[in-house]
Structure formats: C-alpha cells, structure tokens
Structure 1
Amino acid sequence: MNSHLLDGHYRILKVLNDGEKRKTYLVEDANLPRSQFIVKQLCHPSSNPQSLTILRRLFRSKAATLEKLGHKHDQIQKLIACFEENEEFYIVQEFIPGNPLSDDIIQGQPLREEQVISLLSEILEILVLVHSYGVIHRDIKPANIIRRESDEKLVLVNFGTFNEAITNTVDNLEYMPIEQVNGNLKYNSDIYALGIVAIAALKGLPTNEIFNLRSQKHQLTGEIVWRDKNLKVNRKLVAIINRMVRLDYRKRYQYATEVLDDLKRLTSVDDDQQKQHHKKLLLILMGLAGCITLVIGAWFLQSPKPVSDAEQKLYQEGVNKYDAGNYEGAVEDFNQAIKLDPQNALAYNKRGNAYYRLGDYEQAQADSSQAILLNPQNANAYFDRGFAFSELGKYKEAIADYTQAIKLNPKNAYAYYGRGLALAQLKDNKGAMADFSKAIALKPQYTETYLQRGILRRRLKLIQAAIQDFDRVIKINPSDAKAYYQRGLTQSINKQKYIAIKDYTHAISINPKYIEAYLNRGDVYSDLGDKLEATQDYNTILQIDPKFIAAYTHRGIHRFSFGDYQGAIEDYTAALKLDPNNVAAYNNRGNAYLELGNKKAANQDYSRAIAINANNASAYYNRGVIRSKQKNQQGAIADFQKAAKLFQQQGEQDSYQDAQREIAILQNNSPPAPTTGDEARQPIHRRRFPIHRE
C-alpha cells in the first residue's frame, strides 16, 4: 500500500483513519514478519521552533508514563514506541485482536444488568491503577473498550492524553462531562464517561443516540433523566450510575474505588440475604424464637425510648444520604424508619423525594399521598406530589396540589413555578404568567422561572418583555446556553436576524452540540442568502446526529431556495426514510419535483401528504395547481375549495384569497395570468417549521 517505512521499519498495511487532526495506521514491523501494531500520527497545531521544543518534551514525558501503565496492567493497551519524523509525532501501540464494545451496544438490544455490572467492575479496576499514576484516560467510550479475542477480557485503549496535550483538540463530546469540555479536567471525568457508557449499554443506545439522551434533563435539577418505566433495572444500580453521571463533579463519585465498593455491596446483597436466612433457621432450631419474642415484648413495654432514638437516627441518616445524592441509600434508611413507625409522615415524604430523584414518579406520588394522608397540613408533601403528577402528565391534579401547597405555605416560590408550568401545559397563559411572576418576586435569582416566563411571553407576542426575561437569565448566569438560544429565537421572530445569529453562536460556543441552535442559525443564514454558512450549520447537525430529521428537511428547503432541486429531493427522501409520515417532506418534495417538471411524482407526493393529514391546506393547493395543468378542472376546483376552507379556518387570509382566485379562473375558464415560469401561475406554498424545543 505504501512503500515508505515509518521510522525506517514500520510498513503501512492499512489506513484506519485519515483525519485532518489525526491519522491512524495498521502496520507491521519489517524486522518482525507477521507482527502487527497500531501507529498514530499526531498532528500538532504549531511549527514554531519554541513550541515544538515544549511539545517534544511533553510528548516524551507522557509516552514514558503510558509505557509504564501498559506493563503494570494486562488490560491496558501497551505503548510499544514513540518517535518523531519530519516534525510530526508518532506513537506505536499494541494491536489487540478483538471487537470494540460499540459492536455489543446495538440499538434496541440492551445488555443484561449483570453484563453491565461486570463491564463497570472491569474498567473501574483498570481506572484505579491509571488514576494512581496521575493519568486520566480522557476518552472513555465504547469504541475504546476492546473485548480481547484471546481471553474475552476488556482492554482499555486509545488514551486521550496525547490528543489534548499534543493536538489541542477535543473530541467525543457525547461521553464527555462539562468540566472536561471547559478544560477543567478531573479524575472523575473518566467516571462520568463510564457512567454514560453503562447507560448506553442498559438502554441499547449507539453513540449517535447519546447526545439525545444527554439532552433529556430534569427541569429542576438539570440531571440526566435516562431511566423510564419500561427499563427494569435494580434501583441500587440506578443509584450508582446516577451518582457517576452527576453534572457537578463535586457531587459525583470522586474515586474509582468508591464506585467499585458500591458495586461489590450491590452484588453481595443476595449473599447477605442468604446468610440472614440461615441465621434465622439456626435460631429457630435452637429454640430461641420464644425467648426472643419475650425479650422484644419486654423491651417495648418497659423502654419505648430506644425505638424512638433508633427511628430518629435512621431518618436523619436517610436525610444525610439524600443531601449527599445517595438516593438509593436514603430509600433504604427511610424504609427502616417507616418499619419502626408506619405513621412517620416525614419519612414517607422524604422517601417520595428520593424516588422522584431516581425517576420513579409513580412511587414518589404514592409516598407523597401517604404523607398527606398522615398529615394533611404538610405543604411539602402537596408540593412534591404536584411535581410527580406533572411528570406523569396529570396536570390538573398537579395544579390542585400546588394550590394546596401555596395555601399552606404562601412563600414557596417553587410551588408557584410548578403550578405555572402545569398551567402553561393546559394553555392557561394568564394564570401561568401570574404564577411565574409571583415565583420571581419570591426568589429573584431562580433563572428557570425567568426562562419559562420569557418563552410564554414570546408565545403571547410580548417580544420585548420576553427578551428582558432572557437578558435577566444571562445576567445571573452568563453560561446559560438555553437563555441565549431562546433569546435568539425571539430576536429572529422580531426580524433582528443578525442579532439572532449572534445569540445562536453564543449558545453554540457554550454547548458545541446544541442542535437546535445550529438548526435555527442555519435557517436565519438561509433567509439572508448566506448559502455556505447555512449549509455548514445543517451539515454540522447531521455530523452530530445523522438521524435528526429536521436537518434534512431544513437543508432541503435551503437547497430549493437557490435552485438545487435534485439536492432538495435527496434531503426530503432521506427525511422520509426516517419518518414515512412526514407531511412537510412529502409536500416540499412535491414542490421540487414540480420545478423539475415531474408532475406525476409531484402529484403522488401531494396526495400522500393529504392521506397522512387531511387538513394540510398547502398540499391541497399544490395538488390543485397540478390538476389544473393536467386539464382536470373538476379535481383542481375541489382541491382549491378544500385549501380555501382550511386556509380560512387557519386564519391565513392571503393564502385563502389565492385559492379563491384560482377557483374563479377555473370556473370562468379564464386564461391564466402571465408568469415568469412555465410550471405554475401562483407561488407554490413552501413552508418551513423551525424547531422550538421549549
């Protein structure tokens, strides 16, 4: 393949990666026949002699450390050699025959719970050693975990040490925690990435689905919400993984040994239960059951105080664990407290909070209900049940609970905020606005309330007021990407396109994978006629998520706008492969076919759009144009009449007038008005639907 020998003796057998920032080859050593290695060429950003000297020293230092690691642990990819050639750095690594974990994580085919526990344990054992040497892997993901053919063990490969130190690039954002993106790398950044891998394995999510997972965040805590009712996973394992992927590294596990200890306790539960069972049997056989009963009875009759102390201790331990983010541990302590006193309303309330944090909203609602039954004056229980009802989609019930919580505690800003969210879901805009404003008055620094009020104000066409709310969020927290994005949407609606672009760009700088920001910035660029910029934004989205349908439909609209009708058809077709019921894609593809003179294909697409949505006015109108061209007067009139009726119902007066004029022309057999094109006398309705994820 290549006659050039790297470092004088490494012959390239295959190019594995030929990127701009990094090249990877499968090679053999010409001096060792049938030997295979991986060689990586690390492209540094500077040719300045002083910079090269610094990089050269750094390169050798890190290579020496990784070489030691490879010899210390059998499940770490060995560094064979490193060298420099033509001022480019190369590393030679062990080639490990086997399959990457990414081959095991197939969409819709999750790994079993015991497989995930084994995976976590194996990799964590490796990380204990890695971290003890002061090394952070930096790039843990399924592709960098190889199941070795020879013994089926997992091997950790492709340490990111050189990537960031030499090439100055940051990849793999799907698995990367925010502190690493911001350059504030921690040892537990590796723990976060491994936690995301575990979630992907349990849910059967390939890498291109991980970004969507990370965007599913709890509206109050901001933590990732990944467990749903259909996923049957041991709650203790859920708690461990949740602590691994906490957004704030300070609330995360700090050391790999801590995670290992919790996993070992998890796997030893069954053994402990078995031991307890045998112990009970032994007590019975020894005839001690009766004595125990007498002792316990006397204890209850003569000294009730120790029970109260034990109960209080368990409750407080549960609270402490809850505050530390150990929600599963908190549930266990509250369970014990409730066993000692089934009338303990506070324990039910706090256990419900812990279940809520674990994503078990039904159990949270049940515990809050029990707390209310035991103490109808418990404002927190009503408030907590309100949020559980909201997560379950029961907004009317949630509103009733928030209202009761406010009656019992009129100063609870979160209750007003929660009720505002529920009212907005039920389209009670006035009530929602009042609640958001009240929450702000009670807690002026709570940014989520400003954000939601700004979104609501925009819906109500209160543009300047909405912008003020987003301004306030940014003033409180300049790193809130959502606020910049929402302000950008509002500026776009306000026809301030260049200001909108600036806001979208700021949101992207904070969150480089903010798909909605790319999408809407691309739309604005397209409207401004900036062909290359718009195309680049749509392309970036599809690099992040190749299954993001809106990127195809929006890029299709953009291509249509500058006459690339075939390209537009390709995009709409790609969208329809992902969503065969996408009405907009059928309608817009029909427009493109019509521009190319393919009336038959256009007619089929409009008819499909109508079959999916009988209220699609644009499809009726466009099909009417085609039928008119085909001399199908009766069919054309019927389509224009249907379009006119729908346009009128939807308040689109100009479009209604267009359809009425077409009907008059056809009924009077009048010749069509002059046009600049051969295929249509009226502009075909082409609509785009920017995504506003609010």
Structure 2
Amino acid sequence: MNSHLLNGHYRIVKVLNDGEKGKTYLVEDVNLADSQFIVKQFRSPSSNPQTLTILRRLFDSKAATLEKLGQHDKIQKLITSFEENEEFYIVQEFIFGNPLTDEIIQGQPLNKDQVISLLSDILEILVIVHSYGVIHRDINPANIIRRESDKKLVLVNFVTGNEGITNTDDNLEYMPIEQFNGNLKYNSDIYALGVVAIAALLGLSANEISNLRTQKNRLTGEIVWQNKNIKINRKLARIINRMVRFNYRKRYQYATEVLDDLKKITNVDNDQQKQHQKKLLLVLTGVAGCITLGVGAWQLRLPKPLIDAQQTLYQEGVNQYEAGNYEGAVENLNQAIKLDPKNALAYNKRGDAYYRLGDYEQAQADSSQAISLNPQDANAYFDRGFAFSELGKYKEAIADYTQAIKLNSQDAYAYYGRGLAHAQLKDNKGAIGDFSKAIALKPEYTEAYLQRGILRRRLRQRIEAIQDFDTVIKINPSDAKAYYQRGLTQSINKQKYAALKDYTDAININPKYIEAYLNRGDVYSDLGDNLEATEDYNAILQIDPKFTAAYIHRGIHRFSFGDYKGAIQDYTEALKLDSNNLAAYNNRGNAYLDLGNKKAANQDYSRAIAINGSNALAYYNRGVIRTKQKNKQGAIADFKKAAKLFQQQGEKDSYQDAQREIAILQNNSLPAPTTRPKSGKREKR
C-alpha cells in the first residue's frame, strides 16, 4: 500500500484513521514474520524549534506512561516510540480479537450478569490506569477489545495530550460535559463507561447511542434511558445512574467505589477475594508497631509548620486507605513524600495502597525506598516480598522474607510468605519447612496448616494432609475451605462417602461454594446417583450461569448414562462461553461419534487440534474417526502424533493405546478401536 517504511522497518498495511492531528495505521514489521502493530502518528502544529522541544518532552513523557500502563495484562502494550520528519509516532501491540461493538448489538440486550461482568472488568483496568494519574478520555465499545487468545477484555487507544477534548460528532455520546469543556476528571471515564453499560442493557448499536443526547432531561441534563419494555435490575440501574450523573461532583469519584457497589449485587462466590484480602492483611502486619518510631524520626528533621502539614497529609492518606479509597491515599501520600522525601513510613503506606490497587511494581519500588531509608525495617522487606511474589519474582521474594526473618525471627507471617514462594518454585521441602515453622510460632495459624496440607496432598502424603485439614477444622469448625480440601483428599483416597460428607459440610457453611458443588457432583456421578449429580451441576449454574466447567462436567455426567444429545447441548453451551475450550470440543466429538455422526465428530476433533496442536487426545480421537472411515494413512498419522505427545506428557496408558492402534493398522487390519484413552470421556479443563 505504501513503499515508505516507517522507522525503517514498519510497512503500512492499512490506514485505520486519518484525522486532523495525525493518522493511525495497521503496520507489519518487515524484520519479523507474521507481525502486526498499531502505529499512531502525531503531527506537530509548528516547526518552531522551541515548540518541537516542548512537544518532544511531552511526547516522551506520554510514551513513558503508556509503557508503564502496558505492563499490565489487560492494557494495550507500547512496543516503541520514535520521531521522524518532525512527526511523532508510537507503536503499540495489535490486539487480535473483536471490539465490544460486536457484542453490543442492536435489539439484543445483554443481561444483568453480563453487564456487571463487563463493568467489573473495565473498572478493574481503570483502577490501574487512574493510579498512574492517567485518564483514558475515550472509553467506548470500539476501544474495548475481547482478546481472542483468552477472551479477556483489553483497553486500547489511550488518548494523549488534548486529543480527548475535541468536539467531533463521533464521541459526543460518551463525553461528559466537563470533558467537553476541557475540565477532565477521573470520573469522566466512569461516565463514558456508564453510557457503554446503558447501550449494552438496551441493545443499542453505535448509531443508536447518539439518540441518548436527545433523551436528556432538559432541566437537569441527566440521561433518561430506562426502557419500560426491558426489565432492568433496580440496583444495577441505580449504580449506572450514578455513573452518568450530569454533575461530576454527584458521580462516583473513583472506580473502586463502583466496583464495591457492584460486588454487593453479584451472586459470584467471594471466597477467592476473601483469601486475597487475608493475604493483604499480612502485608500490613507490623506497620502499627513502627508508627511511633517513624513519626518521631521525621519530626526531628522538619520545621513545625511542615511537620503539621505532613502529619495532616499522612493521616488523610491513612484515612483514605482505611476507607478503601486507595487512589486518594496515593494522592495524599504523594504530597506527604514531597514535603519530606525521607519519610519511610509514608513510602510504606503508599506501597500498601499500590498493592491494593494491583500495582505491584510500584509497591515494590516504594518498599525498596523504605528499605533504603531504614535497612532495619523488617516490615518493609516483608511488604516487598509480597510484591515480588505477585510479580512472579519468587527468588527475590524469598530473599526479602529471609531478611525479614533475620530482623525478626519470631515473625510467623514472614515464614508463611516464604513458604508460598518456595511452593511456587517447587521447593516442596523448603515450603513445608516454612509452613511448619510458622505453625510452631503461631499454633493456631489456620492458613499455614491449610497450605501445608495442600502441599502434602500433592506429595502423596495424604494421611498427613488430612491431619492438617483436621487441625484447621478443630481450630475453626466454620472454615469451608478446610472441609473442601479434606474432601479432595478423601476423593483421591477413594473414600467417596467421606468426601461427600466433607463437600456437603463445605456447602452448608458456604452455600455458594461452586468448587464444592462441582466435586460433589462428580462423586455422585461416579456413584451412579444421577439425580443428585445433576442437581449439583444445576446449582452451580444458578449461582453463576457463565461457569463453563459446570457445563463440561454436566455433559460428562450425561454422557456417562447415554444421554448423548444432552451432553452435546452442554458442550455447545460451554463453547458459547469459551469458543476455544478443548475439553468441550473433544467431549462433544465423543458424543457425536457415539450418535454415529462421524462428520460432526471429525470437525470437533480437528477444531481442537487447530486450537492446540499439542492436544494428544484430539489426535487420538480423530484417528478413531479416520479408522472408521477406512482412511488408513490418516489414522496412522494421527495415532503416531498422539503417541508422541502422550509419551512427552507421561501418559503411559494412553501411549500404549495409541501404539496398539498403530500396530493393528500397519498389519492391514481395520477394526474400529474399542477403547479410547482413559481421559477421553473425562477431560474437564
């Protein structure tokens, strides 16, 4: 399309947008095979050297911000930036997937749970974005991409400079009045996302969204959007109305506030969140003990007016933190640190706030600064250890926990944190040693018993594992996780009725414990209790209609007693939720095969192979089909591929099955294989 190579190696494939201030291109890197990127060009309004210098500094700053943001998985990554012919360019990753405009379709409203999920996903991204002091400025369905690889929503097309304050007709419907007037606020993004939610609930196309402008109350400016013909959950409508209030002061101020209100109306099990909160509480352990010393130290250095100002800012930051407003805490602590860059206590607290915002890199940086100011601060090493763990830097985390232990050898939490890091590195001996030390220091530390029990089960020390879970239950008879984990161990030990009791106890304590229902349903299915198994799978789908595994497991259950059509329906529902689910394709292929529909079975196995070329089961099953179709060479090729993969994966029985089928075929015999690998009917991923 264009012979000129941007920056010497980016070939323009397509012009995506041609605006007054620059262009956006889809490009390919001539030095990299099958590579596509998005390039944005920003034109300078003047060739004046001073203007260019100012613009260059602004551009470098914006590029640096985009680079930091792109380190997060759900934000479009910055590849590079460059200047060419007094024009500025940024290169970003091309997200393979579909924009939200493909999901928000005219006349097809999304349901409450779908909209809550959409809002929660984007709000979690905005928490990160706003923590960097960045406002997206152009939230709309076209800038939210459903990534093909994992079906996660990714936020793209961050606006830089004053691009977001333009009076073009293509974004007015999402733009709040303060943005239109050039007075951007963080909650300007919240307003735009609220409009997206309205469009999703009403099933409005991109063109129809513009009609919202004509539906505003003439006196108040508020959007009048609720449709009598579409039933909207009142609590959700109340949240959205607050998101799109005309006056930004009456709107939600922070993305975390919206998330908190959404959580109150969801039916999703919060067990994992509670676990995360417990871990976060560990991060804060010991902070109170060092407040007096820390405050006294910086009071000696500062004049009294500055001491008073910093105390006020610090305390306000603490108050904001305790109220759950972590962005506000960061803002106040930033100012406190500006007044005294050597205030280790403020760095500690700001690091905690960044941790709660999910910005583990900044949390690690603040802990490092606190350590440099006070190398004897065991709590700072502990905090940084947790930040390193969240970043996947387990060796660094272990080093920090070890230093924290040297400074405070009685800190059970530091041993526990180090045990978690050792477990991630498969150092089972080290992990069990640390959990045991944490228990010795704190004999009622239930989380340490629980983690040690899980690890012991993985090491096939099942009696010892059950003893750990027994101890947790003795300390806290209402710990649903301990019953669940003991149930898993009982299942492995073939103690099915004992497992049923444990799963039932877990469910009685937590009626929304999805994993307990799932595993209890599997045990019922194995025992032939068809009605009870079906009820458990159905219970999961009442709690969370989008829980893909429930459809997979119910499909396996239906298949087990010959309900192949019902199994196919379940696998199809699973694929609607996750179009790349290998288990659904493989298992649906099995069901089609048992119904005699070889063509459909072959298509499902081939699709599984296309998604993952290392899926041995799909090759084996397709070999079965090809054998039945008397495609000898194709069958042999599939069985050979399956055998190789089974061998690599340590699947000895399945490897032998594949080898046997190859031998039969090579001896010029073409009977239909009578067995499949044992995992064929039970693939549950």
TM-score tier, shorter chain, comes to: 0.5 to 0.7
Opposite residue 504 of structure 2, the aligned amino acid is T
CA distance in 2, matches of 1:611, 1:665: 27
1:214 is matched with: 270
Partner SS, residue 597 of structure 1: coil
1:610 correspondence with 2:641 = no
Shift of 1:199: 6.2
CA distance in 1, matches of 2:401, 2:471: 26
Shift of 1:172: 13
2:533 is matched with: 534
CA distance in 1, matches of 2:369, 2:655: 57
Percentage of identical aligned residues: 74
What do residues 65-99 of structure 1 show as CA deviations (whole Å, max 9, x unaligned)? xxxxxxxxxxxxxxxxxxxxxxxxxxxxxxxxxx9
CA distance in 2, matches of 1:446, 1:526: 36
Shift of 1:505: 0.9
| Consecutive unaligned residues in structure 1, runs of 5 or more | 1-98, 121-146, 155-170, 175-194, 226-299, 673-678
1:442 is matched with: 441
Shift of 1:392: 2.9
What do residues 643-676 of structure 1 show as CA deviations (whole Å, max 9, x unaligned)? 222222323222222222222221122474xxxx
| Consecutive unaligned residues in structure 2, runs of 5 or more | 1-108, 124-175, 177-186, 195-215, 225-232, 237-251, 282-298
More moved, 577-586 vs 635-644 = 635-644
The answer on whether the counterparts of 1:200 and 1:206 sit within 8 Å (CA) in structure 2 is no
CA distance in 1, matches of 2:300, 2:397: 44
Opposite residue 382 of structure 2, the aligned amino acid is F
- Output aligned runs, 1:463-478, within 5 Å: 463-478=462-477
The answer on whether the counterparts of 2:394 and 2:425 sit within 8 Å (CA) in structure 1 is yes
What do residues 488-514 of structure 1 show as CA deviations (whole Å, max 9, x unaligned)? 111111111111111111111111111
- Output aligned runs, 1:330-341, within 5 Å: 334-335=333-334, 337-341=336-340
The answer on whether the counterparts of 1:411 and 1:442 sit within 8 Å (CA) in structure 2 is yes
Shift of 1:404: 2.0
More moved, 381-390 vs 315-324 = 315-324
Partner SS, residue 647 of structure 1: helix
Shift of 1:544: 1.3
Which of 675, 679, 684 aligns to 1:682? It is 675
- In structure 2, do the counterparts of structure 1 residues 470 and 305 end up closer, same or farther at CA, with 3 Å as the change threshold? same
- How many aligned positions are there? 453
Which has the larger Rg? 1
The answer on whether the counterparts of 2:621 and 2:676 sit within 8 Å (CA) in structure 1 is no
- In structure 2, do the counterparts of structure 1 residues 336 and 590 end up closer, same or farther at CA, with 3 Å as the change threshold? closer
- In structure 2, do the counterparts of structure 1 residues 352 and 598 end up closer, same or farther at CA, with 3 Å as the change threshold? same
CA distance in 2, matches of 1:148, 1:202: 27
1:347 correspondence with 2:346 = yes
Opposite residue 342 of structure 1, the aligned amino acid is P
The answer on whether the counterparts of 2:412 and 2:442 sit within 8 Å (CA) in structure 1 is yes
What do residues 408-464 of structure 1 show as CA deviations (whole Å, max 9, x unaligned)? 222221111112112222222222222211211122222111111111111111111
CA distance in 1, matches of 2:311, 2:595: 78
Partner SS, residue 688 of structure 1: coil
1:547 correspondence with 2:546 = yes
Shift of 1:593: 0.8
- In structure 2, do the counterparts of structure 1 residues 315 and 627 end up closer, same or farther at CA, with 3 Å as the change threshold? closer
Opposite residue 467 of structure 1, the aligned amino acid is I
More moved, 618-627 vs 344-353 = 344-353
CA distance in 2, matches of 1:102, 1:148: 25
The answer on whether the counterparts of 1:107 and 1:205 sit within 8 Å (CA) in structure 2 is no
- In structure 2, do the counterparts of structure 1 residues 420 and 149 end up closer, same or farther at CA, with 3 Å as the change threshold? farther
Partner SS, residue 221 of structure 1: helix
The answer on whether the counterparts of 1:625 and 1:636 sit within 8 Å (CA) in structure 2 is yes
What do residues 204-227 of structure 1 show as CA deviations (whole Å, max 9, x unaligned)? 97999x3447344154534999xx
- In structure 2, do the counterparts of structure 1 residues 198 and 511 end up closer, same or farther at CA, with 3 Å as the change threshold? farther
- Output aligned runs, 1:480-559, within 5 Å: 480-559=479-558
1:21 is matched with: none
Opposite residue 527 of structure 2, the aligned amino acid is L
CA distance in 2, matches of 1:460, 1:103: 39
Shift of 1:389: 2.0
CA distance in 2, matches of 1:224, 1:378: 18
Normalised by the size of structure 1, how large is the TM-score?
Answer: 0.57
2:666 is matched with: 667
1:560 is matched with: 559
The answer on whether the counterparts of 1:105 and 1:200 sit within 8 Å (CA) in structure 2 is no
- In structure 2, do the counterparts of structure 1 residues 102 and 114 end up closer, same or farther at CA, with 3 Å as the change threshold? farther
The answer on whether the counterparts of 1:105 and 1:206 sit within 8 Å (CA) in structure 2 is no
CA distance in 2, matches of 1:539, 1:553: 12
CA distance in 2, matches of 1:359, 1:324: 17
1:636 is matched with: 635
1:108 is matched with: 118
CA distance in 1, matches of 2:381, 2:659: 55
Opposite residue 221 of structure 1, the aligned amino acid is Q
The answer on whether the counterparts of 2:435 and 2:452 sit within 8 Å (CA) in structure 1 is yes
Normalised by the size of structure 2, how large is the TM-score?
Answer: 0.58
Opposite residue 681 of structure 1, the aligned amino acid is T
1:275 is matched with: none
- After superposition, the CA RMSD in angstroms is 4.4
The answer on whether the counterparts of 2:269 and 2:513 sit within 8 Å (CA) in structure 1 is no
Partner SS, residue 118 of structure 2: coil
2:360 is matched with: 361
